[in-house]
Structure 1
Amino acid sequence: MRTAFDLSPLFRSSIGFDRVFDMIENASRVETIDNWPPYDIAKVGEDDYRITMAVAGFSQDELTVTYEPNMLMVSGQKADEDNGRYLHRGIAGRAFQRRFELADHVKVCGATLENGLLIIDLKRELPEEMKPRRIDIASGKALPKSRTRQIEAEKQAA
């Protein structure tokens, strides 16, 4: 059962949240669930994350990691190798493409391939102007009161 949400009331009073609304809309679409290759997403620090994908049988040259603002795409394409007739083929070698939506200010630090696991490290780096800062409170005399000035003079009757 699928429930459709009407987000139009939010569009009338929200500015700059287009990407969030698009993500909600995309998540509600029915798509075929493809859970290959399997992956883990872990939070390894306050602002550090790690994606680990099981890509057994893929070499470094057959994998592509692409980073765009707010999007990480990992794809794999096996080179055509036919080493004979298989009686059983259980190691998946099909092409794949996996997309990860990234929050604002999340950057890819690097990627490594070890023992059939592709490890991608990510870090959230907030710009200085977005970090919380302490505002000093000044002490001392209060500001002097300003005199009220009359803008228009009263008119006298003739």
Structure 2
Amino acid sequence: MSVTHSRVTTGPAELEPCGRSDHPDCGIRDVLDRIGDKWSVLVVVELANGTRRFRQLQRAVDGISQRMLTLTVRRLERDGLVLRTVHPTVPAQVDYRLTATGTSLTHLVKALADWSLEHRDGIALARRAYDAEHPGHEIR
């Protein structure tokens, strides 16, 4: 894969994420992998505020690279959570918005974001205490 590779890849693991189609977890992991990664969550949170252009998303999602944002929105589009619209202008203007399925996810993602904000200080304190009790075993 090249440094500039941004194609959404598919493979056998995506066709049968659990290895057995009759397994009770089959399908759940695949969906949670997508909506549970930090970039997808942050993009969904931003798009919950309305349609955004690519650069607007990139500025709003702190720390995301152009390549990672491209991969993230393409994956979300592939999963039916984001709609990408190309406007016939020069240069082409592209914007992104949540689909109905993506919008139905926003209350869950917002609840997770709110929980994270509410508990971040306590989690940071617990991490410092753990690291102090287990020197040299920090988990990053």
Sort the TM-score into its range (normalised by shorter chain): under 0.3
Q: Which has the higher helix share?
A: 2
Calculate the TM-score normalised by the size of structure 2.
0.25
Larger-Rg structure: 1
Q: Which has the higher strand share?
A: 1
